[in-house]
Structure 1
Amino acid sequence: MRRLLALALILPALPALAQTRPDTTAMSCGQARGTVARAGGIVLGTGGPTYDRFVRDRRFCEPTEFTKAAFAPTRDNPRCFVGYTCFEPGASDWPGDY
């Protein structure tokens, strides 16, 4: 009975483990930019095991974070502007640098 209960609790989570994140290298620059714009904030693969979280604008960051331009490799552009990434400014960051 315990095994059946454990199986019933685990099975619904299995599809989530198999999900893959969208990869910018399989998209055109416009598709990658559009994906970020539609989602607002999304984690995208950027080739191989690398990934990052891209956002449409600062509303998708934490209140103490700022945005900086983010570029990712796409099928048709090795340095495509896809949106922004959020970052927490440090003491050495100047306001005009971000």
Structure 2
Amino acid sequence: MVWKPLGLLMILPTLGISIVICWRTRNMTSELAHNLAIVFWITANSYWMISEFLGFDTLLIGHTIEGKHLAIIPFLIGLLILAYYYLVQKPRETKQERVATL
């Protein structure tokens, strides 16, 4: 099937561009957090696609864990980055802005 090689080939430019965007926004905390989450989500989706294309998506790794379930790790990393930003970093930034305006 021609779509599998094309799908695999598109991982590198997609992931590469998202990393470049992260690098360019590294000085803006909000943008960096969101873009890093996107990098990890693209990584998770890419892994999931690779696992299905290469047929190890249903391979048992643990008692009930299949190969495709490992994609949850980068998804959660992206989620944790955003949670940290919204629960820790953003309140600090808001507090500093309030103090600066007084």
TM-score by length of 1: 0.24
TM-score by length of 2: 0.23
Higher helix share: 2
Higher strand share: 1
